[in-house]
Amino acid sequence: MATVMTAREHTLDKGKVHHQWDKSIPPAIEMESIAVEGSGYVDRYNKSEERFAREAGSWLSIRHGQGPSEILAAFRALLSGAQSPSTGVILHP
């Protein structure tokens, strides 16, 4: 049975894949963290996100691809372990 977390009108089912994100609804996990940890969570989160974005360029590369053949190749590379963890892949149909 999947765990369901609710924060206001947003329900996040941990067993379900979400293909789009409605940015007008607060993320359920963050809302729960704020409720537990207080408003300091937001400051810590923002500082961590800024540091990650600043430092990621030193080790993370992004590869773009398009079309079914590139999507399939990327999926196969991931399954086989050939996909480097230092390469992010952005694919479009």
Range of the domain at 76: 61-93
Q: What is the C-alpha to C-alpha distance for residues 53 and 63, in angstroms, rounded to an integer?
A: 17
* Model-wide pTM > 0.75: no
Residues 67 and 27 in one domain: no
Tokens 């067993």 sit on residue = 15
Pick the residue with more confidence: 92 or 6? Answer: 92
Mind listing the pLDDT tens digit for each residue in 22-69?
A: 566 667 777 888 888 887 888 888 899 889 888 888 888 888 999 999
pLDDT at 69 (0 to 100) = 94
Contact residues for 67 (Cβ-Cβ < 8 A; gap 6+) = 92, 93
Q: What's the domain count of the chain? A: 2
Q: Which residues of 30-68 are buried (b: 16+ CB within 10 A; e: fewer)?
A: ebeebeeeeeebeeeeeeeeeeeeeeeeeeeeeeeeeee
Question: Do residues 65 and 46 share a domain?
Answer: no
